[in-house]
Amino acid sequence: MAKDIYHDLVKAALQKEGWTITHDPYELRVGGVQMYIDLGAERLIAAERGDTKIAVEIKSFIGVSAITDFHLAHGQFMDYRYALEEEAPDRKLYLAVPLNVYKTFFSLQFIQRVVQRSQISLLIYDPAREVIVQWQT
């Protein structure tokens, strides 16, 4: 299984924010189908609230067509979310996208509507600074 070119960068950025990487990759088996989400992570929020658990699918959007990359990312996200609902309902799924793609492609009206209607939670990362710049749920 090939890793996205920004896989290690996003992993390190999550760790900088206090997340513990629990899965690399996060393997799911649902109804006879095996899937791999890029990362699973946990962070202790407060003693009384317990852990926050996430899964992160990392995308670079470096293909020839941004809309083709988006179609793939959107489909994966939806499939992974459905699988998590069955196997790990306490884990929230995020789609990680680079800051420049977020500012250009994800600012387009149609893409914003698809993200909103599909309830895609975004983790926006800056590859140049190697940090997470925004969590959008």
**What's the CA gap between 34 and 38, in Å, rounded?**
13
Give tens-digit pLDDT for 53-80.
999 999 999 999 999 999 999 999 999 9
Provide φ and ψ at 106, rounded to 5°. -75, -5
pLDDT of 97 strictly over 60 = yes
Asked whether residue 114 is assigned to any structural domain, the reply reads yes
Q: Which domain holds residue 106?
A: 14-88+100-127
**What's the CA gap between 79 and 96, in Å, rounded?**
16
Looking at the structure of the chain, the number of domains it has is: 1
Q: What is the pTM of this model?
A: 0.93
Encoded tokens for 52 = 């926050």
How many angstroms separate the first and last alpha carbons of the chain?
Answer: 28
Asked whether residue 135 is assigned to any structural domain, the reply reads no
Query: Which CATH number characterizes residue 108's domain?
Result: 3.40.1350.10
Give tens-digit pLDDT for 50-60.
688 999 999 99
On average, the pLDDT of the chain sits at 93
Percent of the chain with pLDDT over 90: 88
pLDDT of 40 strictly over 80 = yes
Coil, strand, or helix at residue 85? helix
Asked whether residue 45 is assigned to any structural domain, the reply reads yes
**Per-residue pLDDT at 43:** 87
